[in-house]
Structure 1
Amino acid sequence: MRILHTSDWHIGRSFHGHSTLDALSGVLDVLVGQVRENAVDAVIVAGDVFDSAAPSAACYPVLSRTLAALADAGARVVVTSGNHDSAARLGFQSALLRADITVLTDPTSVGTPVTLADEHGPVHVYGIPYLEPAIVRHLWPGVELRNQAQTMRHALDLVRADLAERGGRSIVAAHCFAAGVDATPGVEREIRQGGLDVVPLTAFDGPDYVALGHIHGRQQLSERVRYAGAPLHYSFGEAGKPRGSWLVDLDADGLSSVRWLDLPVPRALVTLEGPLDDLLTHERFDAHRGDWVRAEYTDSTPQPDPMRRLQARFPWCATVVHAPAETRPDDGEGYARRVRAARDDAEVIDAFLAHVREGEGASPAERELIRHVLDARAVAEAHA
């Protein structure tokens, strides 16, 4: 049996204020084509289907079309909810879906598989929706569920108990923060507290393959425990990381092989660094006109209106950072002391500029302008 493991579609997520719906739709169309070309028997979507608990109306057709297209390509589709999803909203339409599409959002369904079959017998797919301990602990009285590790271990215990009775091969789909992952700072919403909610790898013992969601980058924690990551880049911290899915083959004895299927990147993400004039004019940056750009200009002082100027050259410039190439060492002369030592208003202003510019005060042209403004003010006050 052949399984395609994908996750973290985040339908409805924006990228620095830009909608990603069209780009995501195009990438998911490619994924559907890969399912057809590789004769995939089942597609597992391991959580975070939507980006928010209340997705906009435009998000639902993207999901409905994609799920139907995957099923039309010949695959059985199993979807679980993630920590970004509203289980109630995502699960609402599950009863209205066709028989070859299953959306699992009910915690009480943990331990009850979707069973598929091939020439070697049954394959049980256990979907574990995101389980928030405080919300689900009442469902299992007498079981201590204070954190993600305990909750996920209990869910996997239910899976193992059911599997021991049924026999056969098994796949688990879950959404959590597993020990050993390399997360992208600021991307994956925290579902852990002080390390307590990290799920140990041993919790996943038993199934032939564990399809995880939540981490946006491709991760292999063991031969049989993996993250597929998101199909789009949603942060500059993800730049350069491949996008795609895992193609998982099971034979009569269980896991046979796993290989990666790349997905296209609609628009590359790059970080460009240099003086602002270079970023605006140098030919070495010409190739990035069509990329998402994070610009770090290294001028010693902040420059006027850098975003507007950069977007004239890079229409997809999404963020600008002032990162001076050199910073002056602290001379021990604090701002308050500089102000107290100032002999007139011009020196007060110069002290302020030196403070906010990391040591560089007013330029000669600025000093002239400051003196002109102060003189004009003095004349106006004298005639008031």
Structure 2
Amino acid sequence: MRILHTSDWHLGQHFMGKSRQAEHQALIDWLLVQVETHAVDAVLIAGDIFDTGAPPSYARELYNHLVVQLHRAGVALLLLGGNHDSVATLGESRALLAFLSATVVAEVQPPADQLVLLPKRGTPAEPGCIVCAVPFIRARDVLQSQAGQSAQDKQQSMQAAIQAHYQAVFAAGKTRQAELQLALGRTLPLIATGHLTTVGASSNESVREIYVGSLDAFPTAAFPAADYIALGHIHKPQKVGGLDHIRYCGSPIPLGFDEARQTKEVLLVDLDATGLAGITALPVPRFQAMVSVSGNLMTLASAIQDVAAQGTAEQPVWLEVTVADDDYLSDLPARISEMTQGLPVEVLRVRRQRASTAATLAGQPLETLDELSPAEVFARRLAQEDLEPAVQDALGQRFRAVLASLTEDAS
């Protein structure tokens, strides 16, 4: 059984005024080729399929295109909800996608209902592995708040609740594994999923912390003894705790300039009756050049010239410029614009080193409103509220209606 493990696609991301539609389309085209080339049986996306709870129509179209193409290839698809995903949005098409070889697990369910049998390629009736399909776990999914709890008490309660949920799903998985062994005469590998931060995981600025005030990071030892644990949420590919069978595959495209130097990848996970047989990383091509350069005005000119060699008139390099020494000048954007005149580069952000350092020390995000769309500002503010999914969706729909009416009036 061969699974392709990926996560954190963030379809519909609006990045500093730029759409990622072309990159995601190229990613899907590339992925479909890899599925054929490497004889993949099933694809698993471990959360954050969309960037917001109300993705634009083109993001939904890409999502549907992926589902249909994998179905035509006879390849099963398992989709897990992440902290960026709306339970309602993922759930609205779940019953329909089930007829297209795609299983959606958008939210926490009773343990037995979170078990998914992934079939071998082209043979829906022949199971290849059992998945304890655990999506992003919200605090309200697994515990009730208690008055008088300290921050440490809340941390411990959340950790214990998540661990208990994993153990319950894993126990149901072991029972199912024993039943299928009797029926099939062979042992199916048992894997698990998750969308969360683990102890020791290396994060970056484009990852939104998901358990603020409740759980900073989940201990590696608290995971069940599954043959493989496919994780999402952290965008940098890495092993967890040095263990080969617990992996973050990372995001397939850079979601921020701090990820531009990372080698993005998806993981081919081979399983057999003995468990994990091997893992192969497939590097993902860079579909859009993104570069961050820094220096004073004298050195930046040559650095930008070097970067320009990576771009073309049709696809300029997206550039972040951090100015040192000369960062006190008030006309920096104009000076940088003059440097890039006629070059196949597009400056998305100019940062002042001293201001950036001060903001970092203060723990503040290095963003301004002109770098965010109205939808992103609204989504980030809404994420700070502990509201039921239905309420969030209703507010999101109302916001989109108001925004649409304003856009129509402006045009």
Sort the TM-score into its range (normalised by shorter chain).
Answer: 0.7 to 0.9
Contact 2:155 2:213 in 1 (8 A): no
Once the two structures are TM-superposed, the CA of residue 314 in structure 1 deviates from its matched residue by 5.0
Contact 1:8 1:229 in 2 (8 A): yes
1:123 matched to 2:159? The reply is no
Once the two structures are TM-superposed, the CA of residue 231 in structure 1 deviates from its matched residue by 1.2
Structure 1 unaligned segments of length 5 or more: list them: 139-143, 325-384
1:231 matched to 2:258? The reply is no
Instruction: Name the aligned partner's letter for residue 160 of structure 1.
Output: F
Secondary structure of the corresponding residue to residue 207 of structure 1 = coil
| Whole-angstrom CA distance in 2 between matches of 1:206 and 1:108 | 21
1:114 to 106, 113, 116: 116
Contact 1:131 1:151 in 2 (8 A): no
Alignment of 1:8-19 (within 5 A): 8-19=8-19
Q: TM-score, with normalisation over the residues of structure 2? A: 0.71
Once the two structures are TM-superposed, the CA of residue 262 in structure 1 deviates from its matched residue by 1.1
| Whole-angstrom CA distance in 1 between matches of 2:155 and 2:104 | 24
Q: Which residue of 2 aligns with 1:149?
A: 159
Secondary structure of the corresponding residue to residue 260 of structure 1 = strand
Instruction: Name the aligned partner's letter for residue 239 of structure 1.
Output: A
Contact 2:189 2:272 in 1 (8 A): no
Instruction: Name the aligned partner's letter for residue 220 of structure 2.
Output: L
**What do the CA deviations read for 1:120-174 (whole angstroms, capped 9, x no partner)?**
9751112112111124436xxxxx9975423321221122211231223212121
Q: In 2 relative to 1, CA 110–262 (structure 1 residues): closer, same or farther, beyond 3 Å?
A: farther
Q: Which residue of 2 aligns with 1:174?
A: 194
Secondary structure of the corresponding residue to residue 235 of structure 2 = coil
Once the two structures are TM-superposed, the CA of residue 70 in structure 1 deviates from its matched residue by 2.1
Matched pairs, number: 318
| Whole-angstrom CA distance in 2 between matches of 1:231 and 1:75 | 20
Higher relative contact order (CA 8 A, sep 6+): 2
Q: In 2 relative to 1, CA 121–103 (structure 1 residues): closer, same or farther, beyond 3 Å?
A: closer
Identity %: 32
Q: Which residue of 2 aligns with 1:250?
A: 271
Q: Which is worse superposed, 227-236 or 117-126?
A: 117-126
| Whole-angstrom CA distance in 1 between matches of 2:300 and 2:263 | 27
Structure 2 unaligned segments of length 5 or more: list them: 145-153, 178-187, 355-411
Q: Which residue of 2 aligns with 1:319?
A: 349
Contact 2:8 2:233 in 1 (8 A): yes
Q: Which residue of 1 aligns with 2:218?
A: 199
Contact 1:147 1:197 in 2 (8 A): no
**What do the CA deviations read for 1:72-114 (whole angstroms, capped 9, x no partner)?**
2331111010000001111110111124111111422544312
Alignment of 1:1-384 (within 5 A): 1-97=1-97, 98-112=99-113, 113-116=115-118, 122-137=128-143, 148-167=158-177, 168-184=188-204, 186-193=205-212, 196-221=215-240, 222-280=243-301, 283-289=305-311, 290-300=316-326, 301-302=328-329, 304=331, 305-312=334-341, 313=343, 315-323=345-353
Secondary structure of the corresponding residue to residue 58 of structure 1 = helix
Q: In 2 relative to 1, CA 111–155 (structure 1 residues): closer, same or farther, beyond 3 Å?
A: farther
| Whole-angstrom CA distance in 1 between matches of 2:308 and 2:175 | 63
Instruction: Name the aligned partner's letter for residue 292 of structure 1.
Output: W
Once the two structures are TM-superposed, the CA of residue 192 in structure 1 deviates from its matched residue by 2.5
Q: TM-score, with normalisation over the residues of structure 1? A: 0.76
